[in-house]
């Protein structure tokens, strides 16, 4: 295999994913690159999809490369200012070389990742919200001031969507109406961890939009994307069931 790509975007993606998992399988096939990984607590899943047309060069039949994301992240930081980088598999190593004035080469050992092949789950939702990703980021920062968990609350009849954090003494509430967001609203309320969302919303740095999908007492799915691009970073998070 031999692929070439711009390093900065890839470096930022790996940095975000590495907050949830330390090792992952990078699957390259005729369609492009995909990463599907579950965090150690089996609470959150991350899914990254980068079709082959987004690479500068893509010569792969099919490869599965299991890597330490911490090691990969450190290497990508060293080459992220390069014009481009080339990834090649050499026996049991991944060779990463930069194409710029200073030509750097790194050899990363491939690891044995003993786990079943992850597949993207097929989930159904009754509420979906599309908004600028920085609005979600600001909202999570607001609720994080007062609580370690928060609720998505939607009302079909009132045509509202709220993000509400409630601590022992304090409360934060952000309300959106249909003029501010694109929404398919159900009557749903579900609670999630602020800590996990603080990791997810780092994707707002590289993606302008986010789609939030959920239903009462079920996992939520966040799809980060840019208009006109088919690259997507998604997260699925289990709910906190309130007593």
Span 25-47, pLDDT tens digits: 999 999 999 999 999 999 999 99
pLDDT (0 to 100) of residue 243: 54
Pairing mode of beta strands 44-51, 32-38: antiparallel
C-alpha 62, offset from chain centre: 23
Q: How many of the other CB atoms lie within 10 Å of CB of 147?
A: 18
Span 175-198, pLDDT tens digits: 997 777 999 999 999 999 999 999
2-109 adopts what CATH topology? DNA Polymerase III; Chain A, domain 2 (3.10.150)
In this prediction, residues 82-97 reach a mean pLDDT of 95
Confidence of residue 242 (pLDDT cuts 50, 70, 90): low
Per-residue pLDDT at 97 exceeds 60: yes
Q: What are phi and psi of 5, to 5 degrees?
A: -155, 165
pLDDT (0 to 100) of residue 119: 87
Pairing mode of beta strands 188-193, 209-214: unpaired
| % of the chain at pLDDT higher than 70 | 98
The end-to-end CA distance of the chain, in Å, is: 52
3-state SS, residue 213: strand
| % of the chain at pLDDT higher than 90 | 89
- Rounded to two decimals, what is the model's pTM? 0.95
Query: Residue 73 and residue 10: Cα distance in Å, rounded?
Result: 9
Note whether 25 and 37 are within 8 A (CB).
yes
CATH class of the domain defined by 127-237: alpha beta
pLDDT (0 to 100) of residue 153: 97
pLDDT (0 to 100) of residue 178: 75
2-109 and 127-237 have identical folds: yes
Span 51-76, pLDDT tens digits: 999 999 999 989 999 999 999 999 99
How is 25-37 classified by DSSP, letter by letter? EEEEETTEEEEEE
In the chain, domain spans: 2-109, 127-237
Mean pLDDT of the chain: 94
Per-residue pLDDT at 89 exceeds 70: yes
In this prediction, residues 9-30 reach a mean pLDDT of 96
């Amino acid at each position: 295999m031999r692929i070439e790509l711009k390093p900065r975007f890839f470096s930022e993606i790996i940095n975000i994913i590495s907050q949830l998992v330390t090792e992952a399988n990078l699957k390259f096939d005729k369609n492009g690159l995909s990463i599907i990984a579950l965090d150690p607590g089996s609470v959150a899943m991350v899914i990254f999809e980068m079709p082959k047309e987004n690479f500068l060069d893509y010569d792969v039949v099919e490869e599965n490369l299991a890597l330490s994301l911490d090691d990969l992240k450190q290497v990508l930081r060293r080459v992220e200012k390069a014009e481009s980088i080339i990834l090649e598999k050499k026996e049991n190593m991944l060779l990463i070389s930069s194409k710029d004035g200073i030509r750097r080469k790194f050899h990363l050992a491939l690891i044995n990742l003993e786990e079943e092949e992850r597949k993207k789950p097929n989930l159904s939702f009754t509420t979906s919200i599309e908004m600028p990703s920085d609005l979600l980021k600001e909202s999570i920062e607001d609720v994080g001031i007062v609580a370690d968990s928060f609720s998505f609350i939607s009302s079909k009849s009132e045509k509202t969507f709220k993000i509400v954090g409630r601590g022992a003494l304090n409360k934060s509430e952000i309300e959106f109406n249909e003029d501010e967001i694109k929404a398919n609203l159900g009557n749903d309320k579900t609670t999630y961890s602020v800590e996990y969302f603080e990791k997810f919303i780092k994707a707002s740095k590289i993606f302008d939009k986010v789609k939030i999908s959920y239903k009462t007492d079920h996992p939520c799915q966040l799809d980060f994307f840019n208009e006109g691009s088919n690259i997507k970073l998604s997260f699925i998070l289990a709910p906190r069931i309130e007593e």
